[in-house]
Every structure is written in structure tokens, then in C-alpha cells.
Amino acid sequence: MSTDDTFYGSDFGALSTFDPEISGVLLSELGRIRSGLQLIASENMSSPEVLTALGSTLSNKYAEGYPGRRYYGGCSEVDKAETIAIERCKTLFGADHANVQPHSGASANQAVYGAFLQPGETILAMSLPHGGHLTHGAKVSFSGKWFNPVHYGVDRDTENIDYDQVAALAREHRPKMILAGGSAIPRLIDFAFFRALADEIGAIFWVDAAHFIGLVAGGAIPSPVPYADVVTFTTHKVLRGPRSGALVCKAEHAAKLDKAVFPMMQGGPQMHTIAAKAVNFKECATPEYAAYTRAVVANAQQLATSLAGHGIRPTTGGTDTHLSLHDLQGIGVTGVDAEARADAAGIVLNKNAIPFDPQKPGIASGIRVGTPCVTTQGMGLPEMETIAELIAMAVIKGDADPDSAVSQEVRAGVTDLVTRFPAYPRA
Ligand code: DSN
């Protein structure tokens, strides 16, 4: 990552003069990122190169359609950006086809429903309280309102996907589409199992890889691409690109999915973001990025183990990926309190439902922690042990008062770490 301090360092150029209120927000957000530990599993710190593409004049251009087939003139340059992004994405994931226009993971997911399902048809997906996602058929989402979701969960003992239940539900309900993936799944998913099951009942097999696609890009975990009909993802999590989405699919589904992204679900693509995705895909093809993804997993495993040593139990016993989910019932703290106590001490993490959670989602019995950000900052295994100590101190002994003695003590430890491993380091 470059360390161009003129881009994100001490001011935002003309914006600082014209609009001190907003440039002040940009600077204080940078200060917030730099001064705390960012452990939200779905966040990362994009490079200045990605941020430069995001802040470019490509933001101005309307380009409805696809390269060479636009509904507007003047698309010669954005056509180049999108073609480069598509080709890099296909190469990175070994995919037949890529669509880089989805504005987000949720938009990419909408396109999959649009391409393959009619309203009222059945999808089999992981339930939200067991680690799925809103767009996987939750009642409050379009996916739950307009389609017929059947949900599988995890096994009560292993806390891993209950594959027997998945098979039984698939055979009983004969869904048109089977979905694997979610937002709080610490373990690897058996894609071969899902592929075989989908083939058995004649269903489309879709993987929502938003959380772990970055690990796939770097080769740290196995890829769903050879197995799935379509793989959707976000580009801003472990992948470390701009806040956006994309999908890759088998050649036979390309035309259908392209039409579902545009014009069915979206209008004009965000060409500045597509250019930033191209930059990110180039970054992800480097040996440095591959090493980063291995370090993300090693760090997540160490963090989960070290938290367990402080009585903060990881569900499934640990993790194979970038995140772990922790059950706080043994220490008698709710997720919402843990999040507030950590926040008061400069540690940003999120409360999370755990499987079979007795609490409402807004309270939750768990926390989710992830290592994409701290690994981007260069932290390694010893620092994960320190982070676990700091989390334990804040969550078990602390409170939500930033001025309390415990919060102050934890914050001193956080400050030491972020001083030694700065985010967006100054040149
Ligand atoms: N909100 C994302 C997450 O934190 O996992 C998923 O969409």
C-alpha cells in the first residue's frame, strides 16, 4: 500500500477551504480509523490507489448498458475501464463471465433472484439467525416478501452447517435455487456437497461469497467458482476494494444475469467504482495480497484461540476464515453491552446473534470479530494475543464510560498497537 500523505493526510485540498464542515468529517473519520482497533469482519482499508479511482471524474458519466453497447455517447473511456475490470475479475477467479456493475452485494443478490426465480418460487438458504443474510429470504427483505424461502441452520452440537438438514429440506421442498454463504459463518463451506445436491434436484446453486471472496482471491481458502452456477460478492471486505459488488458465473448464465443486473435491477453503472474495482482486482493478483490473505486467516485463528483463553467462547470452536463468532453467555455479558464497552475503549466490533440465541437480535448473546483491518495494518500473531487481552478486559471488567479506569487502561493498549501499526501511515 502506498503512503501518499497528500491524498489522505492532513487536508483535503480545495474541499477543506470550500466546505470545512464536510472535510472536517472526512478528517475526523480518518482520525477515528487511525486511533482505534477496527475489528468489524466486513470492513477493510482500501488503498490510496483505489480511493483515487473512486474520487475521479468517471463519477460523472452515464453509461447504461455494457461496453460497446451503451445507451449514451461518450463512453469510450469508461468502456475501457469496465472491460479491464471484467477481464481482471474473470482471471482472478478463473470464471467464465463477470459482471462488475452491481452497486453492492445486495444488488448483486437481487440480480440473481431476478435472473432465476419468479415471484413466489422457492429458495433454500441459511437462516439469518444462524449466520445467513437479510437478502437470503429474511421476512423484512424483498427476498422474504416476494419469494418463498426455506431455511436451514447449524447443528446444535457442532454449530456448523447442518448438512443433513440441508439435504432433507432440499428433497422435501425441491427449491429452484440453493444458496450457500452468509455473514457470520466462521467455517469453510462444503461446496461439492451443495453442487451434488443441486444437481440431484435440478436446482441452481448460488454462492454468496461476500464475506470470504477476498480469501479466495488470495488463495487462502478453496474457491466456490468451479462448483457454483453463480457467485455474488462485495468488493470491500477482505478483498479491500471499493464499497460495491460484483458477480461471476458460468457462461450459460451470462446473458441472463447481465440482463438481470441491467436493466432489470439497476440503471446507470457507477463507472468510478468500476474503475476502482479494476484497480483492486490488480492488487489482489499480487503475491503480497496472497500473503495478506493467509495472514488474515492465521490472525483470526489466533484471535479466536486467545479470546477462548479468556473465557470468550468461539462458536464452532474456532475459525477457518477471517472472522470468529463468540458466545458471551459464559461471561454473563450481552452482545450489545460488549459492543458498547469495547467501543468506549477504542475497539470497534459488533454484537451478533449466535445460533439458538435466547436474546433478541438487538441485544444478542454474541460478538463477531474479524481481522481484515488489523492485518492490513501489519499486525500479526503476538498482536492478536494482545487484542484478545484488551477485548477481554473491556468486555468483562469494563463499562460503556470512555472515562472509566478500565476503558482508559484498554485505550492505552489500543493506542500502543495503532502507534506501532498505523492505519493509513503517514509517509
Ligand atoms: N453488513 C454486512 C456484514 O457486516 O456482514 C453484510 O451485508
Ligand 1 midpoint to CA 186 (Å): 14
Q: Is the pLDDT of residue 10 over 70?
A: no
Q: Once rounded to an integer, what is the mean pLDDT over residues 410-425?
A: 97
Percent of the chain with pLDDT strictly greater than 90: 94
Distance 106 CA to ligand 1 centre (A): 10
Cell of 38: 477496527
Residue 11 scores a pLDDT above 80: no
Question: In a mutational test of the pocket of ligand 1, which residue from 44, 133, 322 has the highest number of ligand atoms less than 8 Å from its CB?
Answer: 133
> CA-to-CA distance for 420 and 373, rounded, in angstroms?
14
Identify the pLDDT of residue 12: 77
Mutate to test the pocket of ligand 1, among 42, 143, 208, 349 (most ligand atoms within 8 A of CB): 42
Grid cell, residue 298, equals 492465521
Rounded to the nearest integer, the mean pLDDT of the chain is 96
Which domains are delineated in the chain? 53-284 (3.40.640.10), 287-420 (3.90.1150.10)
- Annotate 250-264 with b (16+ C-beta within 10 A) or e (fewer): beebbebbbebbbee
Name the residue at shortest CA distance from atom 2 of ligand 1. Answer: 42
Query: What is the CA(201)–ligand 1 centre distance, in A?
Result: 30
Question: What distance in Å separates the CA atoms of residue 89 and residue 285, rounded to the nearest whole number?
Answer: 10
Residue whose CA lies nearest to ligand 1 atom number 4: 42
Measure 79 CA to ligand 1 centroid, in angstroms. 30
Ligand 1 centre to CA of 182 (Å) is 9
Q: What is the pLDDT of residue 8?
A: 59
pLDDT confidence of 426, banded at 50, 70, 90?
confident
Q: Distance from CA of residue 159 to its chain's centroid?
A: 21
Average pLDDT over residues 63-77: 98
Q: For residue 3, what pLDDT is reported?
A: 42
Q: Which of 255, 259, 188 is nearest to 223 (CA)?
A: 188
How far is ligand 1, taken at its centre, from the CA of residue 414, in Å?
Answer: 24
Query: Band of the pLDDT at 1, cuts 50, 70, 90?
Result: very low
> What is the DSSP code (8-state) at residue 329?
G
- pLDDT higher than 70, residue 301: yes
**4-18, 26-40, 128-142, 256-270: range with lowest mean pLDDT:** 4-18
pLDDT in tens, 323-368: 999 999 999 999 999 999 999 999 999 999 999 999 999 999 999 9
Separation of alpha carbons 61 and 271, rounded Å: 7
Q: Which atom of ligand 1 is nearest to the CA of 183?
A: 5
Q: What is the pLDDT of residues 83-99, one digit of tens each?
A: 999 999 999 999 999 99
**Looking at ligand 1, which residue's alpha carbon is closest to its atom 5?**
183
Residue 28 main-chain phi, psi, to 5 deg: -75, -30
Which of 14-23, 31-40, 152-161, 173-182 is predicted least confidently? 14-23
Residue whose CA lies nearest to ligand 1 atom number 1: 42
39: CA distance to ligand 1 center in Å?
13
Q: Rounded to whole angstroms, how far apart are CA atoms 112 and 177?
A: 10
Note the helical H segments in 243-370.
Answer: 254-259, 271-284, 287-309, 335-344
pLDDT in tens, 223-239: 999 999 999 999 999 99
Predicted local distance difference test score (pLDDT) of residue 150: 98
Q: Pseudo-torsion of CA 405, 411, 416, 417, nearest 10°? A: 140
Residues 6+ apart with CB under 8 A from 333: 341, 395, 396
Kindly give the number of the ligand 1 atom that is closest to the alpha carbon of 105.
Answer: 7
> Atom 3, ligand 1: which residue's CA is nearest?
42
Residue nearest to atom 6 of ligand 1 (CA): 183
The band of 16, judged by pLDDT with boundaries at 50, 70 and 90, is confident
Query: Does residue 401 surpass a pLDDT of 60?
Result: yes
For residue 14, the model assigns a pLDDT of 85
Q: Give me the active site residues, please.
A: 62, 64, 208, 234, 237, 243
Pocket of ligand 1 (CB under 6 A): 42, 105, 133, 183
> How far is the C-alpha of 224 from the C-alpha of 229, rounded, in Å?
9
Across the range 285-312, mean pLDDT stands at: 99
Across 14-28, 181-195, 211-225, 311-325, least confident range: 14-28
Give pLDDT, residue 5. 47
In this prediction, residue 7 has a pLDDT band, given cuts at 50, 70 and 90, of low
Out of 110, 183, 239, mutate this one to test ligand 1's pocket (max ligand atoms within 8 Å of CB): namely: 183
